[in-house]
Amino acid sequence: MSHKSKILVTGGCGYIGAHTIVDLIENGYDVISVDNLSRATTQLLAGIADITSVQVKNYAIDLCIAKDIATLFAQHPDISGIIHFAAYKSVPESVAQPLSYYHNNLASLINLLQMVQQYEVPYFVFSSSCSVYGNTQQLPVTEDTPLPRAESPYGNTKQIGEEIIRDFSHTHSGSRHALLRYFNPVGAHPTALIGEIQPIPQNLVPYITQTAIGKRPQLTVFGNDYDTRDGICLRDYIHVCDIAHAHTLALRYLAQSTADNRCEVFNLGSGTGNTVLEAIAAFERVAQMPLPYVIGARREGDAAAVYADNQKARALLGWQPRYDLDDMMRTAWIWEQRNTQ
């Protein structure tokens, strides 16, 4: 894949999408974005421009509308890679609204793959999730860990999405696919010009920073009777910039690969797990302030513990996480302070 290859990033105005666009631009790629802005704004595009001095074009279309995607590809028939982030991603919301999740997350994927087939787009990177592992008893999870029944409709859309891509790869020889299962992306770009925007937090770290800055009275830790070292849910936190760079590396890997297998799966995690209380302690350490929190009931759909074996990504992609838990909390806190002012 030559530099200045054109990469389509779906969900490019979102948290991981924006950080990945920065990484792609810094590695010489030409990027266009699709984001219907139903769950994002153009704020991060402005941050991308400030960091890279590149104005990325966003097409505010709905990927579930096939004719709109067809129009986009007619305008950009030279797209050489797709990184597909665009999806609904709240576990509790998916439990409450399963049909919305199945429609949005799967119809958009199918429509995109039809364009991959029609336009012979050679490289496709799919944003999957550690949620595919459900409440697995095997830790750390490897890419070969058997997938149990998903714990939520959201997790199930990622399992089904992977199956769709795998089946497609068996019949379509013109493209290669990477399925990236990320664990818990946190933190913000070191410049604090882009980060995670969640007016109503769906994830732990925005809840921590919004509580610390006074937007929320306290943090609720969901459940303290799990089979973990302190009874609290254990997760594998990974800095968003490390996640972003893995997408650039995945494109390079697909371009260089000569393997018969046209669909590869990679775990993107730190390789270790931290409980929510350990994450809170890291925040208190870097922010030098106490965080008010209470223990609440378990939350439906939450697995007790999931963390990654990341050796495959290290070996095949040459991926090396650069940021530790304190870095994650520090950059998230600087972003929160900058974004609140």
DSSP string, 62-79: -TT-HHHHHHHHHH-TTE
For residue 338, give the amino acid letter. R
Looking at the DSSP bridge assignments, the partners of residue 220 are: 294
State both tokens at 95: 């439990």
> Is the torsion defined by CA of 108, 112, 117, 123 positive or negative?
negative
Of the candidates 313, 255, 329, 295, which has an alpha carbon nearest to the alpha carbon of residue 128?
313
Spatial distance between the Cα atoms of 52 and 97, rounded to a whole number of angstroms: 38
Residue from 154, 226, 237, 323 carrying the catalytic annotation: 154
The alpha-carbon radius of gyration of the chain (Å, integer) is 19
- Decide if 154 is catalytic: yes
Q: Which amino acid does the sequence have at 168?
A: F
In the chain, the amino acid numbered 231 is: G
Q: Which two tokens stand for residue 157?
A: 């859309």
The token duo for 155 is 């997790």
Q: Which amino acid is at 119?
A: Y
Q: Are strands 30-34 and 6-10 parallel, antiparallel or unpaired?
A: parallel
Give the catalytic positions in this structure: 154
